[in-house]
Amino acid sequence: MKNVIQGVFGAVLGALYTGFGALQIVAVFTGPAVPFVPASVFWGFVLLVIGAVLLRGARNLSRGLDDGIVFVNVGILLSVAFGAIALLAAGAGALEAAIAGEAWSVADAITPAAYLAVIGAAGSSRGAEGSSGGSVQHDATHP
Amino acid sequence: MIGIRIALAGNPNVGKTTLFNALTGSRQHVGNWPGVTVEKKTGRINRNGHTIEVIDLPGTYSLTAYSADEVVARDYILEEKPDVVVQVVDATHLERNLYLTTQITELEVPVVIALNMVDEAEATGCTIDRERLSSLLEIPVVRTVGTRGEGLDDLLDAAVREAKTSPHHEHIVGYGNEIEAMIASLVGVLAADKDLGDRYPLRWLAARLLEGDENALAKVKESPVSSRVQDILSGTDLDEYEAAMADRRYDVIAAVLPQVRTAGARSMNVSEMIDRVVTDRYLGIPIFLALMWGAFELTFVVAAPFVALIEAGLAWLSAAVAGWLGPAWLASLVGDGIIGGVGSVLVFVPNIFILFLFLSFLEDTGYLARAAFIMDRLMYAIGLPGKAFIPMLIGFGCNVPGIMAARTIEGEKDRLITILVNPFISCSARLPVYILFAGAFFGAAAGAVVFFLYVLGISTAIGSAKLFRHTILPGESSPFIMEMPPYRLPTVGTSLLHTWSRGAMYVRKAGTIILAGALVVWCLASFPFGVEYGSSESLAGSLGRLLEPLVAPLGFDWKIAVALLFGLVAKEVVVGSLGVLYGTGEEGDALSTALLADPGLSAATALALMVFVLLYAPCLATIATIRKEAGSWRWAGFSVAYGLVLAWTLSLIVGRIAPFFLGGA
Ligand SMILES: Nc1nc2c(ncn2[C@@H]2O[C@H](COP(=O)(O)OP(=O)(O)OP(=O)(O)O)[C@@H](O)[C@H]2O)c(=O)[nH]1
Ligand SMILES: [Mg+2]
């Protein structure tokens, strides 16, 4: 049951990330079309990556592969991490505007990376699972 | 006052440096990946009237050293003969760690085991019977947790006791009748050479000779008994002996472990979970790039307001100085020379600190080792081992440790290539140049321009590596073998400490080298007496005019020529020198305003200049490091020449092409 919830959550959030990521990149060429979706190749790319991780998790779960949970969890982790970066960047923007005496509006802080992370954070507080403490090393070799 | 020397040895990434720092109060570099320490470091402590010298060594898996850092560790234990070797053992990896123990005990030096990372072992439910282990190996075993400073006193007590006890006795692996007979006959022959017997334990030497150890063979080469040793060895298959002896060591370990360790339950843990995703075949590289972009965003955007604050402060200061200081020359010295030169570099302290915070995060979490793993396929295509990516990432902070980190790379040619391409990785000293010029000339696109420069640096490094591999340093790269450390959540304290100790270096540099550079440039700009400050009639002007023809095709004028020349000392000096030569005005961002106002400078020239600064000759410290690590001035000279030619050519191309994209700006 838990897997189903996680799978659906991963699929929905993954789709959102992918969609908004694509929009941010498209906006670079067409100019910003959707409110609160600024044009940015880099942020668009980041969102696509997070989306891909989440969707991969959802897909694996739907196929009955347990490692799907892992992808969804790491996707959520990335979502929260980049949300924090986006917020920090927005905060810095506000501070800079204040120092330079320029106008700044809250709208500048509302970027997809920030608001999607709120959903991600909600997911992380629910789906903290399988994370036992401790750590065991393993050797990774590559042919 | 009896002096005791304690060497800290052990596998890589087991916490040797952490213990060293805790014991001696030093702040040597610690990181969660194998190969952090590549040089021996010494510290002193006074304890109960003893002066104890502690030596931190690079990690090594065996005493048959394969890479340059391992050689450092082996040679120290062998040649310098410490009074006691403390082998730091990772309690979560007893098997691999005890393999080294079996080798160290053969050296007949007193040994103490520091059973470290016990906290992590216990967290997995694993318990280790230290007393039993100690009695089986006949070596004292002390429980330590380096990160929390636990067990230090016991460790020192045991070490001092062991150093003073003689004769000491440790369990030595027996290799079975046949091999022992061979060893005995070799010892018989070797004993004829008194000199050899004084320097090395003969049983150890004989065993190494049987294993075909190159280093041991070299040791007996000069000896009068060399030919008789050869006679014995020639009739034997050394590879077979080596394998058989390794088997025997593992047999002994396998016999010991079940008696001392009760394993805990083991399920897929967080480390493995994260690794499943971040080292994924398809997602690994995109995730890595996304993280890099995140770091980049933090370095520039988040630092920006703090930079603005410092700028405003400096502007106020230079205005105030201009008012307070009487004689015009003094006001110019302080305003133009010191504030203009050093200030223009100090402005970027926030960027530097955030960059270092990110790098320390990368190192302390353990992701660095994963990055190398992810990049292995790409690196393999160039002909370098994936491990060679680590020195590159370290190089983003500073190329000097980046080049040193190449010591962990096994093949000599691989190591040389890794060293030679490291200067193209954009170190933190080049950041101020980018931020200044990109900020002044590219406005909103500044971030993208700087990102382009970083990518250009990496591409140049990779392209050059491929070129070297196919021309001057041909060969096959070795496969990727690197241990993945478990992820560790760095504490805020250690992260800040790491960031601080490296960031402080930047500030210190500003107060020393850059200050000196700025003063020299100020003098050159002010003399001879009577000339207008910073004009082309000044000494700086004459010097610049002399160099100008060299860089004129790139669109650089004499001021830039002078800045580039002094920038050879340290790249921040480029900004410092320009700060001095353009002088500081009363406004906040005087230097960037002054640069914008210069009719000789366009966006295209600025871009060409940034490319030039990225690629041209490494700074003095880096050149010296290349010479030391590559072992000859030839390579250092080559690096300078190659960089200059490449920088000149690429800047020319960029300067010519850029106007088409920038709309002739
Ligand atoms: N949990 C835990 N972590 C530790 C302990 N000791 C060290 N560490 C961590 O282990 C990692 C490696 O520590 P270092 O001191 O750099 O290891 P080293 O043996 O010097 O490594 P090399 O120089 O690469 O050979 C760091 O992330 C430390 O914070 C310990 O007792 N417990
Ligand atoms: Mg170390």
Q: What is the pLDDT of residues B570-583, one digit of tens each?
A: 888 888 888 888 76
Q: What angle do CA B87, B407, B77 make, to 5 degrees?
A: 30
CA A61 and chain centroid, separation: 19
Report the range out of A124-133, B150-159, B449-458, B652-661 with the highest average pLDDT.
B150-159
**Range A52-55 contact pairs with CB under 8 angstroms and sequence separation of 24 or more:** A52/A14, A52/A18, A52/B283, A52/B286, A53/A14, A53/A78, A53/B277, A53/B283, A53/B287, A54/A10, A54/A11, A54/A13, A54/A14, A54/A17, A54/A79, A55/A10, A55/A11, A55/A14, A55/A15, A55/A18
pLDDT over threshold 70, residue B346: yes
In a domain, B69, yes or no: yes
In a domain, B513, yes or no: no
CB distance B278 to A74 below 8 Å = yes
B370 CA from centroid of ligand 1 (Å): 17
CB contact under 8 Å between A142 and B293, yes or no, is no
Confidence of residue B490 (pLDDT cuts 50, 70, 90): confident
Residues of A in Cβ contact (< 8 Å) with B271: 135-137
Average pLDDT over residues B140-168: 90
Residue B147 sits in the same domain as residue B182? no
CB distance B11 to B59 below 8 Å = yes
pLDDT digits (tens, 9 = 90+) for B531-575: 777 677 788 777 878 888 888 888 888 888 888 888 888 888 888
Residue B28 sits in the same domain as residue B152? yes
3-class DSSP assignment, residue A132:
coil
Number of domains into which chain B is organized: 2
In a domain, B44, yes or no: yes
Q: Which ligand is nearest to the CA of B147?
A: 1
Q: Which CATH number covers residue B33? A: 3.40.50.300
CB distance B409 to B313 below 8 Å = no
In a domain, B326, yes or no: no
Residue B8 sits in the same domain as residue B147? yes
Q: Which ligand is nearest to the CA of B21?
A: 1
Residues 296-355 of B with CB under 8 A from A: 297-298, 301-305, 308-309, 312
Q: Which of A42, A67, A99 sits opposite B308 (nearest CB)?
A: A99
Sign of the C-alpha dihedral computed for residues A37, A43, A47 and A52 taken in this order: positive
Confidence of residue B98 (pLDDT cuts 50, 70, 90): very high
Q: Which ligand 1 atom lies nearest to the CA of residue B37? A: 23
- List phi, psi (to 5°) of B36: -70, -55
What's the DSSP call for residue B527? P
Query: Any idea how long chain A is?
Result: 143
Let me know how many helices (H) and strands (E) chain B has, helices first: 34, 9
In a domain, B552, yes or no: no
User: Distance from first CA to last CA of chain B, Å, rounded?
Assistant: 73
Residue B158 sits in the same domain as residue B208? no
Residue A106 corresponds to which tokens in the numbers above? Answer: 């809250």
B366 touches chain A (CB under 8 A): no
- State the ipTM, two decimals: 0.87
B285 touches chain A (CB under 8 A): no
Confidence of residue B477 (pLDDT cuts 50, 70, 90): low
- Residue of B126, B275, B301 to mutate, testing the A interface (most A Cβ within 10 Å of its Cβ): B301
- Answer with the one of B120, B137, B165 that is the final residue of a domain: B165
- Answer with the one of B105, B140, B165 that is the final residue of a domain: B165
CB contact under 8 Å between A135 and B120, yes or no, is yes
- Could you tell me which residues of chain A have a Cβ less than 8 Å from any Cβ in chain B? 42, 45-46, 48-50, 52-53, 56, 67, 70-71, 73-75, 77-78, 81-82, 85, 88-89, 91-93, 95-96, 98-100, 130-143
CB contact under 8 Å between B304 and A52, yes or no, is no
Q: What does DSSP say about strands B111-116 and B141-143: parallel, antiparallel, or unpaired? A: parallel
Residue B148 sits in the same domain as residue B221? no
Residue B226 sits in the same domain as residue B133? no
Confidence of residue B590 (pLDDT cuts 50, 70, 90): low
Per the prediction, chain B carries an average pLDDT of 86
Q: Which ligand 1 atom lies nearest to the CA of residue B88? A: 19
- Answer with the one of B247, B262, B277 that is the final residue of a domain: B262
Residue B183 sits in the same domain as residue B125? no
Q: Any idea where the domains of chain A sit in the sequence?
A: 2-129
Report the range out of B124-128, B169-173, B524-528 with the highest average pLDDT.
B124-128
Gap from B524 CA to chain A (nearest CA, Å): 35
Task: Tell me the C-alpha to C-alpha distance, in Å, between residue B235 and each of B180, B190, B248.
Answer: 16, 17, 22
CB distance B159 to B84 below 8 Å = yes
Confidence of residue A142 (pLDDT cuts 50, 70, 90): very low
Confidence of residue B144 (pLDDT cuts 50, 70, 90): very high
pLDDT over threshold 80, residue A128: no
Residue ranges lining ligand 1, Cβ < 6 Å: B 12-18, 30-32, 34-37, 58-59, 116-117, 119-120, 145-147, 364, 488
Q: How far apart are CA B160 and CA B162, in angstroms?
A: 5
Residue B194 corresponds to which tokens in the numbers above? Answer: 């008194």
Q: How far apart are CA B354 and CA B366, in angstroms?
A: 19
Nearest to B298 by CA among A26, A84, A116: A84
Task: Give the pLDDT score at A132.
Answer: 35
Residue B98 sits in the same domain as residue B218? no
Q: Is B393 or B48 the better-scoring residue by pLDDT?
A: B393
pLDDT digits (tens, 9 = 90+) for A43-73: 899 999 999 999 999 998 888 887 888 899 8
Residue B147 sits in the same domain as residue B211? no
Residues of B in Cβ contact (< 8 Å) with A139: 481, 483-484
pLDDT over threshold 80, residue B328: no
CB contact under 8 Å between B268 and A130, yes or no, is yes
CB contact under 8 Å between A136 and B124, yes or no, is yes
> What is the rounded radius of gyration, in angstroms, for the C-alpha atoms of chain A?
18
pLDDT over threshold 70, residue B663: no
Neighbouring CB atoms inside 10 A of A129's CB total 11
Task: Give the pLDDT score at B172.
Answer: 80
- The percent of residues in chain B predicted with pLDDT above 70, rounded, is 97
Residue B155 sits in the same domain as residue B236? no
CB distance B36 to B13 below 8 Å = yes
Nearest to A69 by CA among A3, A122, A9, A1: A3
Residue B25 sits in the same domain as residue B157? yes
Q: From A94, which residue of chain B is nearest by alpha-carbon distance?
A: B305
Gap from B257 CA to chain A (nearest CA, Å): 17
Residue B444 corresponds to which tokens in the numbers above? Answer: 């909103």
Q: Which residue has 């200044």 as its token pair?
A: B436
Residue B21 sits in the same domain as residue B151? yes
Supply the range of the domain harboring residue B94. Answer: 2-165
DSSP alpha helix (H) spans, chain A: 2-30, 41-62, 67-100, 112-126
Q: From B485, which residue of chain A is nearest by alpha-carbon distance?
A: A137
Average pLDDT over residues B314-319: 80
Q: Is B293 or B58 the better-scoring residue by pLDDT?
A: B58
Q: What does DSSP say about strands B84-90 and B3-10: parallel, antiparallel, or unpaired? A: parallel
Average pLDDT over residues B27-32: 90
Residues of A in Cβ contact (< 8 Å) with B278: 74
Q: Which of A89, A134, A136 sits opposite B297 (nearest CB)?
A: A89
What's the DSSP call for residue B167? S
